[in-house]
């Protein structure tokens, strides 16, 4: 196939934009420009990436080598804060965060802002692809009008518009782009065709063309499905605690049947997707659907999953009481503030409500994470001994690999009170109790 030359602008240098930009820049004929605003929190990424360095601190296979190659060797990727580069683009990818607020309504400040900034430089023939997860109907009813008004061009005639959702996960950012099936929905047939042709350059699996609305629904339903299944696992964990058995043994027995898959229970559901995508789905139906749908299961699943960090705090207080320690006089080490193991991603981390609930009860809390630079508003250290020294309880929120290697004899020595509360099934109960600890764990009676 003949080499196709494209200039691609990727707006948003986060967990979606960076791997997408780097993979596209590795394709012969592609020149990629990342756009990142210079905020206090993330503006440092511009110089960091432009020096050929990977900004992710967790375990991201292949990312170091890929960024070094496309930035310093091929020189096909650079990052800027200047939106005027959009006038050079054959393709613009929009990869910004789309959170929901406390009323569970989508906040599209970033999406609206960057759409308007891109529109100011949009040229005829450009393909715009929304990769950010949005409420079904958003590309048509929110993004399209902004692009048309700001550019004076018409979608589907003068420029092309599509939605193609990401399925990335920290720790597997590159793999989940290249080796997962892709769904592409355009505003018209030509928009879909052009988007499919672009993704063929980096995706090794099947790429399925569909309608714009179907693609948006598929993404939000996919994450709602997972959230509901995690909620089932969490509720069964509570059942097993009450019955005095181990939920992980139950899970093993259930999943031995090939057509069953019980998810893992745990200390809470975090990340940018699962805590808010079910609400995006509901908002889309409520706003653009022909009639309202109650969606009771989704609301209940969210309630269950949001309760798990507080249940972990209840287990901690129970353990302290058994040891005769009042929680208001306790020092508690929270181990892990990333929402996912071996990553530095703290978005919607369940560690935050754990810490806040412990502090409301008067405890002194020191949080530790081997990968996270900072967690705004919380005391955080990368020194594990500092966190655990004279602690009355160690509470595992994230199953980072270093925690599996904790030496229980050393832990018993440095802690003031030997209490281990396990939110992620890092340890075996019998082993910990044999070492002299009070051990509480989600899903273990």
Residues designated catalytic: 219, 273
**Residue 182, beta-bridge partner list:** 207
- Please, what is the Cα angle at 360 between 359 and 364, to 5 degrees? 25
3-state SS track over the chain: CCCCCEEEEEECCCCCHHHHHHHHHCCCCEEEEEECCCCCCCCCHHHHHHCCCCCCCCCCCCHHHHHHHHHHHCCCEEEECCHHHHHHCCEEEECCCCCECCCCCECCHHHHHHHHHHHCCCCCCCEEEECCCCCCCHHHHHHHHHHHHHHCCCECCCEEEEECCCCCCCCCHHHHHHCCCEEEEECCHHHHHHHHHHHCCCCCCCEEEEEHHHHHHHHHHHHHHHHHHHHHHHHHHHHHHHHCCEHHHHHHHHHCCCCCCCCCCCCCCCCCCCCCHHHHHHHHHHHHCCCCCCCHHHHHHHHHHHHHHHHHHHHHHHHHHHCCCCHHHCEEEEECCCCCCCCCCCCCCCHHHHHHHHHHCCCEEEEECCCCCCCCCCCEECCHHHHHCCCCEEEECCCCHHHHCCCHHHHHHHCCCCEEEECCCCCCHHHHHHCCCEEEECCEC
Q: Using the structure block, give the residue that is written with the tokens 């208001």.
A: 328
């Amino acid at each position: 196939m003949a080499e196709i030359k494209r200039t691609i602008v990727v707006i948003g240098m986060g967990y979606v934009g960076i791997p997408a930009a780097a993979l596209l820049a590795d394709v012969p004929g592609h020149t990629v420009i990342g756009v990142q605003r210079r905020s206090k929190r993330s503006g440092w990424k511009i110089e960091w990436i432009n020096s050929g360095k990977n900004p992710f601190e967790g375990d991201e296979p292949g990312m170091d080598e890929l960024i070094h190659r496309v930035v310093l060797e091929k020189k096909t990727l650079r990052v800027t804060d200047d939106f005027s580069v959009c006038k050079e683009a054959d393709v613009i990818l929009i990869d910004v965060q789309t959170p929901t607020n406390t009323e569970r309504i989508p906040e599209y400040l970033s999406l609206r802002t960057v759409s308007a900034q891109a529109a100011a430089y949009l040229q005829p023939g450009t393909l715009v692809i929304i990769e950010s997860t949005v409420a079904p109907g958003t590309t048509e009813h929110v993004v399209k009008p902004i692009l048309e008004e700001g550019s004076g061009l018409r979608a589907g005639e003068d420029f092309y518009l599509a939605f193609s959702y990401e399925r990335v996960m920290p720790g597997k950012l590159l793999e989940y782009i290249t080796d997962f099936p892709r769904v592409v929905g355009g505003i018209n047939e030509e928009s879909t065709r052009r988007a499919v042709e672009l993704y063929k350059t980096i995706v090794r699996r099947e790429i399925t063309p569909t309608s714009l609305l179907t693609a948006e629904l598929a993404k939000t339903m996919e994450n709602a499905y997972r959230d509901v299944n995690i909620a089932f696992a969490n509720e069964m964990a509570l059942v097993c605690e009450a019955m005095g058995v181990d939920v992980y043994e139950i899970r093993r027995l259930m999943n031995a049947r090939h057509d069953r898959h019980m998810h893992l229970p745990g200390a809470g559901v975090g990340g940018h997707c699962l805590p808010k995508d079910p609400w995006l789905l509901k908002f889309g139906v409520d706003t653009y659907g022909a009639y309202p749908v109650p969606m009771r299961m989704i609301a209940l699943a969210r309630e269950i999953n949001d309760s798990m960090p507080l249940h972990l705090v209840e287990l901690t207080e129970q353990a302290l009481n058994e040891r005769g320690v009042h929680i208001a006089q306790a020092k508690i080490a929270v181990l892990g503030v990333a929402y996912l193991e071996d990553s530095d991603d703290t978005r919607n981390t369940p560690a935050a409500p754990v810490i806040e609930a412990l502090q409301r009860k008067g405890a002194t809390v020191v949080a530790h994470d081997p990968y996270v630079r900072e967690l705004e508003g919380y005391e955080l250290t990368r020194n594990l001994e500092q966190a655990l020294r004279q602690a009355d309880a160690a509470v595992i929120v994230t199953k980072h690999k270093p925690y599996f290697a904790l030496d229980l004899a050393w832990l018993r020595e440095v802690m003031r009170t030997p209490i281990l509360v396990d939110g992620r099934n890092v340890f075996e109960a019998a082993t910990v109790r044999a070492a002299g600890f009070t051990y509480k764990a989600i899903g273990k009676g």
